[in-house]
Structure 1
Amino acid sequence: MTALDVSTDVPQDAAVALARRIRLRAVQMVSPHGFGYLGQALSCAEQMAVLHTGCFQRGVDRFVCSPGHYIIAAYAIAREAGELTDEQLADYGRNGAELEAIGTETSPGVDLTCGSLAQGLSGAAGFALADRLRGQEGSRRTFVLSSDGEVQEGQTWEAALFAGHHRLRDVVVLLDANDSQVDGPVSSITTIDPLVDKWASFGWYAEEVDGHDTAAVRAALGRAIDADRPGVVVARTSTVHGLNSLPADADGHFIKLPADLAARALEELENGDA
């Protein structure tokens, strides 16, 4: 199998700048509603930025957004790539809008997003296996954005077991471990650690990093891509990172963003103060 080239010389500030733009776009989408899935974009911004500055080959690789409410970050990336317009982003989350607040099978900017949690990895494994059966293994990768809440679901581990057994090395997972879900902190609901050991025991290359350190994410992602088996980067993150104007007790899963707070958040991100 011929390995795909992955650029390692992308300026680090390019990913940092893109992460800030992801946050800005997310606030712009959420602020008209006064609430929404902003925390997910705040926690995964650096991962998405690193992925899309040197690792993801647009038009070649696939991108799977497993938790549907993370779709806001994919929309932000698609707008930065010129695949969506400001007008489309302005309609985000409105009744009948193309850009739904929770991703569906018609959502732009992704190859697959899912309704019920934990389905994305199964789809990614299917993509990779189909490439192998067509004699196209190694021609592209399937990157999956997943979440720590999803690893409470049995389907995640069924798919992980399958991918590990078949050594589907074209599958690479970014697991956003932000310790947040609708019922409260993940760690208070189900003990999911040690995540790296669990994934490794299923036959995966697994590594844990600070998910807001773009250099660390890039290095770990590169190692996961180069592994001779499927790879996962467990990124420890926060749902309020990069937006200092948010109150310390903001509900990261579904943030309330009244007009005055939205204005401060937009000013902070537009000025690059975050």
Structure 2
Amino acid sequence: MTASLSRHDSTWTVDDPAELALRIRLRAVRMVAPQGFGYLGQALSAAEQVAAMFAAARPGRDRLVCSPGHYVIAPFAAATELGLLAEEVADTYGQNGSVAEAIGTERSPVLDYTCGSLGQGLSAATGFALSDRIRGTDRRTYALISDGELEEGQVWEAAIFAAHHRLGALTVLLDANNSQVDGPIDTITTIEPIADKWAAFGWHVSDVDGHDIAAVQAALVAAAADDRPSIVVCRTSTVHGLACLPPDADGHFIKLPPPLAEAAVAELTTALTAMLEARRA
């Protein structure tokens, strides 16, 4: 199945978001391994956010926007684990002609909207939320954005608009991993204090450890109870969950030669096995 998350025939169940986050990482490694490089770091940093979002979103109703196109690996991995995307499609990730493109486009499966150009996704998500209000539709829109995108003025224009119209059905998950293509964000542009800025714009704000799945889930529950647009600032790392990565691994675009890919698969498989055994004990 390659339809968007909000299609009426889309169904899935997330029994354990923590397990799904681990499976997202493992699946992402396997998706990147054939090329030997790719946007693995984005899946490592956003795994808990994507898992929590799929656990919170109502099948066939709520929408998913992935603003930074190179982050699509994480929703693709989650959708594959949940049966929304065929494994044979995920296996072609990043290959010529594949619908599972390394950088998402308007043709991308699973997502209701993604874009290659950074900074545009929040505008689309705001449009969805406003449209749903006008139509009287009971839908929530979840938008995944990155901290690097906060350097784009369009993000702040959309934030002002959403707050002005009090779009309470809009929830943003901000992956604050301090990483962009040119290096650490804080060496290039000062974007802190992130949480205070969004609060000043009139948003409901939660600032959490983005790798604490329970904290992310609790923030999503709080967001759904507020009548303002909400943002969950998730503090993360682009190498989280993989101790085998070298200290100088470029989190934006990780190189994964065969020996390292095998080590990554082995590490995550061991962690998954231990989680499942602990659950049965």
| TM-score category, normalised to shorter length | over 0.9
CA distance in 1, matches of 2:160, 2:139: 21
Aligned ranges 1:60-75 → 2 under 5 Å: 60-75=61-76
Q: Which moved more, 1:213-222 or 1:104-113?
A: 213-222
Instruction: Answer yes or no: is 1:245 the counterpart of 2:244.
Output: yes
CA distance in 1, matches of 2:135, 2:91: 40
Q: How does 1:1-274 map to 2 (within 5 A)?
A: 14-53=16-55, 55-136=56-137, 139-272=138-271
8 A contact 2:179–2:251 mirrored in 1: yes
Q: Encode CA deviations 1:13-45: one digit per residue, 9 max, x unaligned.
A: x11111110001100100000000000000000
SS in 2 for 1:65: strand
Measure how far apart 1:248 and its partner are: 1.7
Moved more, 160-169 or 86-95: 86-95
For the 8 Å contact 2:45–2:238, the answer to whether it is kept is yes
Which residue is 1:7 aligned to?
none
Amino acid at match of 1:19: A
SS in 1 for 2:206: strand
1-side partners of 2:103 and 2:31: how far apart?
A: 13
Letter in 2 for 1:237: T
Q: CA deviation at 1:257?
A: 0.3
Conservation of the 8 A alpha-carbon contact between 2:70 and 2:116: no
Return the offset for 1:266: 0.6
Which digits, 9 at most, give the CA deviation of each residue in 1:144-185, with x for residues without a partner? 000000011000000000000000011100000000000000
Identical amino acids, percent of aligned pairs: 63
Query: Separation in 1 of the partners of 2:150 and 2:66?
Result: 15
Q: CA deviation at 1:135?
A: 2.4
Q: Which runs of 4+ in 1 moved over 2 A?
A: none
Could you tell me how far apart the structure 2 residues matched to 1:218 and 1:133 are? 28
TM, length-normalised to structure 1: 0.93
SS at match of 1:271: helix
CA distance in 2, matches of 1:121, 1:225: 18
Runs of 5+ consecutive residues of structure 1 not aligned to the other structure: 1-9
Residue-pair matches, total: 260
CA distance in 2, matches of 1:50, 1:135: 26
| Alignment root-mean-square deviation, CA | 1.2
